[in-house]
Structure 1
Amino acid sequence: MTAHRTGTREEWLSARLELLEAEKELTRRSDELARRRQELPWVRIDKEYRFESDEGTVSLPDLFAGRSQLIVYHFMFGPEYTAGCPSCSAVADGFDGSVVHLAHHDVTLCAVSQAPLARLSRYKERMGWSFPWVSTAGGDFAYDFKTSHTREQWESGAVDYNFRTVDFRPPEGVEAPFLDEIAASVGTDWATYRQEGPGVSAFVRDGGEVYHTYSAYERGVDALWGMYQWLDRAPLGRNENGWRRHDEYDSTPEPAAPARHSCCG
């Protein structure tokens, strides 16, 4: 017999209607937050950023692809990675099909990573994705938008990420096999892996200028994880069991494991 609370259909409906009011309030609050995002002051981009793309070296304005709005997903694929972050890969599975729809709403969605373009292209082909993906290797873009950090910053324990100072180093003397497992999945150690972080940044072109309008990190990108929205509506919730690349799952799903936090917060 289940240990979860059970009840009659009438009891369920009463509880569901009570929850519905809370859900409606959350929807209204979400609409308000979206409005406030759009009211943030725009910051003009004066720096000339360069990226390597399938069309050659391009600028930040080029990434707009003729549209007025640009959303960049900061994909965790560092210069020393041998493969993309599994969690970012799961996110990308979800947004790959959104690119065409966003384009028809005057928004270009593009992924940006530190790894060389050739490595990104091979991985993109392996995953079967079609979204635009450029390399910022050797440039400042990822550092300026706080998704990449130097080894010195990491070792100092003072990384500027998610609008605060963070120490990503595991506690001294504490073994963290889950962190080692994540790092090994991209062919690095934890110190190298966590020099990158997930994030999303938005830009707009107006009057011939490019402006930065918004950035979010860690759980600020939760809403972009399509799987989380489904799991939040499943009976047992997220049941954080980590993520794999879609071509690495067994044909038969594994049983649920004890909850643990994902690598991306």
Structure 2
Amino acid sequence: MTKHVIGTRQEWLAARIALLEAEKELTRQSDELAQRRQALPWVKVDKDYRFDTDDGPASLGDLFAGRSQLLIYHFMFGPDYKAGCPSCSMIADGFNGFAVHLANHDVMLWAVSRAPLAKLQEYKRRMGWTFPWASSHGGDFNFDFNVSLTEEQQRTGGAEYNYRATPPGDLAKLPQPVRQFAASCGTDAPTFMRDRPGMSAFVREDGAIYHTYSTYARGLDSLWGAYQWLDRAPKGRNESGAWWRRHDEYAAG
């Protein structure tokens, strides 16, 4: 027998209307936060970042592809990985559908990872993705935008992630889900954790490029499309650990 509250349609409707008011307030708060994001100061990007893409070497400016705005998803795929992070992969599964809409609204969406381009291309074919994905292999881009750290920084601390300095890592005590994901990427947990997820936004105006926004960790929740659906399902996220897999790793049925 269910332990959940059972009620009449009238009781449900009264509770739903009360919830609707809270949802509307959250929407208003979300709109206000979006305006505050857009009001952040712009920081000029002076460094000449270089990337490898399907069309050859590219600069940060080239990634705009004629648009004035650029969104970059910092996809966890380090040089030593054999496959992309399962969490980033689940997020990226949604990119194909809306990247074309963004591109036709003056916004380019790219994924960027440190793995060499050939690895990204192979994994992209496996996943059936078509959105643009660039390699920052050998460059400073991931480190400057705080989504990668060196082995030395991992041991001693001092790197920044999610606007906090990371403490020295106790690499012997990384949690089991991290070890599970690392193994699925063909690497060990410390190596896996030298790359982190995030997204960054850029704008080009009067020939200059500016960094406008970055978010990390739980700040990516709203970009994780499946969770937006689960939050509306009867049992919510209903999870006790990392349950998701790459989309080609679930059992058929």
What TM-score do the two structures reach when normalised by structure 1?
A: 0.91
For 2:114, the equivalent position in structure 1 comes to 114
Q: What does residue range 138-153 of structure 1 map to in structure 2 within 5 Å?
A: 138-153=138-153
> What is the Cα deviation at residue 158 of structure 1?
3.8
1:74 aligned partner: 74
Q: Mind listing any 5+ residue stretches in structure 1 that lack a counterpart?
A: 253-265
1:11-57 deviation line (CA, Å, top 9, x unaligned):
11111111100000000000000001000010000000000011111
CA distance in 2, matches of 1:242, 1:168: 28
Matches within 5 A, 1:96-245: 96-167=96-167, 169=169, 176-240=175-239, 241-245=242-246
Note the C-alpha offset of 1:238. 1.1
Change (3 A) 1:168 1:63: farther
Letter in 2 for 1:246: H
**SS of residue matched to 2:134:** strand
Equivalent position amino acid for 1:65 in 2: A
Structure 2 Cα separation of the partners of residues 211 and 123 of structure 1: 30
Distance change in 2, residues 1:135/1:168 (3 Å): farther
- Letter in structure 2 aligned against 1:234: A
Instruction: Tell me by how many angstroms 1:182 deviates.
Output: 1.1
- Offset at residue 170 of structure 1 (A): 5.2
Query: 4+ residue runs of structure 1 moved beyond 4 angstroms?
Result: none
- 2:249 is matched with which residue? 248
| Contact 1:170–1:176 (Cα < 8 Å) also in 2 | no
The alpha-carbon deviation at position 243 of structure 1 amounts to: 1.8
Does structure 1 conserve the Cα–Cα contact (< 8 Å) formed by 2:156 and 2:168? no
Alignment pair present for 1:31 and 2:61: no
Output the CA distance in 1 between the equivalents of 2:168 and 2:85.
Answer: 16
Contact 1:168 1:194 in 2 (8 A): no
1:251 CA displacement:
1.1
SS in 2 for 1:203: strand
C-alpha change, 1:185 and 1:10, in structure 2 (3 Å) is same
Q: Deviations over 1:185-219 (max 9, x none)?
A: 10111100011111000000000000000000001
Identity rate of aligned residues, in percent?
63
The number of aligned residues is 251
1:52 aligns with 2:13: no
Question: What CA distance in whole angstroms lies between the structure 2 residues aligned with 1:230 and 1:149?
Answer: 33
2:171–2:190 contact (8 Å) kept in structure 1: no
Q: Check the 8 A contact 2:63/2:70 in 1, yes or no.
A: yes
RMSD: 1.4
Contact map agreement 2:45 2:210 (CA 8 A) in 1: yes
Deviation at residue 99 of structure 1 after TM alignment = 0.7
